[in-house]
A and B are shown apart, each in its own frame.
Chain A
Amino acid sequence: MENSVKTKIRVEELSLIFGKNKKLKEKALEMLKTGVSKAEILKSTKCTVGVNNVSFDVYEGEIFVVMGLSGSGKSTLIRCLNRLHRPTSGRVLVNDYDITKETNKELLQTRRTEMSMVFQSFGLLPHRNIIENAAFGLELRDEPLDSRLKKAQEALNTVGLQGYELKFPSELSGGMQQRVGLARALANDPEVLLMDESFSALDPLIKSDMQDELLQIQEKVKKTIVFITHDLDEAFKLGDRIAIMKDGVIEQIGTAEDIITTPASEYVEAFVEKVDRKTIITAGKLMFEKPTVIIYGKDGLEAALRKMRTVSVDVLPVVDKDRKFLGFLWLDDLVKNDKSQNHSLDAIIRTNVHSIHKEYTVEEMLPLITENKSPLAVVNQENGRLEGVVSQTSIIIESTRYDNKDIDKLKSQAKEFFKWKK
Chain B
Amino acid sequence: MEKIIDVGTYIETGINSLEQNFSFLWTAIDDGISWLVDNMNHLFLLFPPWLVVLLVAVLAYYLKAGKNRFNKQGLKSAIGLSFFIILGFSFIFLLGYWKEAVQTTTLVLVSTFIALLFGIPFGILTAKSKIADALIRPVLDLMQTMPAFVYLIPAIFFFSVGNSPGVIATVIFALPPAVRLTSLGIRNVPAETIEAGYAFGATESQILYKIQLPLAMPTILAGVNQVILLALSMVVIASMVGAEGLGSVVYQGIQQNDIAKGFESGLSIVILAIILDRITQSIGSKK
Contact = CB atoms under 8 A, between A and B. Distances in A.
Nearest to B211: A125
B201 A137 contact: yes
A84 B201 contact: no
B190 A121 contact: yes
Interface string B186-216: 0000101101111111110010001100110
Interface string A115-140: 11101111111110000000011011
A136 B217 CA distance: 19
A100 interface: no
A198 to B, nearest CB: 12
Contacts of A111: 198-201
A155 to B, nearest CB: 13
A123 B196 contact: yes
A344 interface: no
B282 to A, nearest CB: 17
A147 interface: no
A82 B199 contact: yes
A48 B210 CA distance: 33
A281 B42 CA distance: 86
A127 B200 contact: no
B201 A109 contact: yes
A80 to B, nearest CB: 12
Interface residues of A, number: 29
B211 A140 contact: no
Interface string A135-155: 011011100000000000000
Nearest to A136: B200
Contact of A123 (B195, B210, B287): B195
B interface SS class: helix
Interface in A177-196: 184, 188, 194
A125 B193 contact: yes
Interface in B79-114: none
Contact of B200 (A112, A120, A121): A112
Contacts of B215: 125-127
B199 A117 contact: yes
Contacts of A139: 210
Contact of B199 (A84, A120, A124, A168): A84
Given A127-B214, A127-B215, A121 B199 contact: no
A110 B198 CA distance: 11
Interface string B121-149: 00000000000000000000000000000
Contacts of B196: 117, 119, 123-124
Nearest to A190: B200
Nearest to B198: A84
A108 interface: yes
A109 to B, nearest CB: 7
A188 B195 CA distance: 17
Given A125-B214, A125-B215, A126-B215, A116 B200 contact: yes
Interface in A219-273: none
A108 B203 CA distance: 8
Given A109-B201, A117-B196, A125-B211, A140 B190 contact: no
Interface in A71-125: 82, 84, 108-113, 115-117, 119-125
Nearest to B194: A123
B200 A117 contact: yes
A140 B201 contact: yes
Contacts of B193: 123-125
Given A119-B192, A123-B192, A140 B199 contact: no
A224 B89 CA distance: 66
Contacts of A108: 201, 203
Contacts of A188: 200
Contacts of A136: 200, 210
Nearest to B204: A104
A124 B201 CA distance: 15
Contact of A137 (B192, B200, B214, B217): B200
Contacts of A168: 287
Nearest to B203: A108
B200 A84 contact: no
Contacts of B214: 125, 127
Given A84-B195, A117-B196, A140-B206, A123 B190 contact: yes
A163 to B, nearest CB: 20
Interface in A306-362: none
A404 B217 CA distance: 68
A48 B200 CA distance: 27
Contacts of B287: 127, 168
B192 A120 contact: yes
Contact of A141 (B195, B197, B198, B201): B201
Given A125-B215, A126-B215, A140 B202 contact: yes
Contacts of A137: 200-201
A381 B196 CA distance: 45
A115 B198 CA distance: 11
Contacts of A117: 196, 199-200
A121 B198 CA distance: 16
A124 B196 CA distance: 8
Contacts of A122: 192
Contacts of B206: 140
A82 B202 CA distance: 13
Nearest to A139: B210
A184 B195 CA distance: 14
A139 B217 CA distance: 21
Nearest to B191: A123
A143 B210 CA distance: 15
B199 A116 contact: yes
A132 B251 CA distance: 54
Interface in A16-49: none
Nearest to B202: A140
28 contacts: A84-B198, A108-B201, A111-B198, A111-B200, A112-B200, A117-B196, A117-B199, A119-B195, A119-B199, A121-B190, A123-B195, A123-B196, A125-B193, A125-B211, A125-B214, A125-B215, A126-B215, A127-B215, A127-B217, A127-B287, A136-B200, A136-B210, A137-B200, A140-B200, A140-B201, A140-B206, A168-B287, A188-B200
Given A117-B196, A119-B196, 10 more contacts: A84-B195, A84-B198, A108-B203, A111-B198, A119-B192, A121-B190, A123-B196, A125-B214, A184-B200, A194-B199
Q: List the 4 shortest-distance A-B pairs measured between CB atoms, nearest first.
A: A123-B196, A112-B201, A111-B201, A117-B199
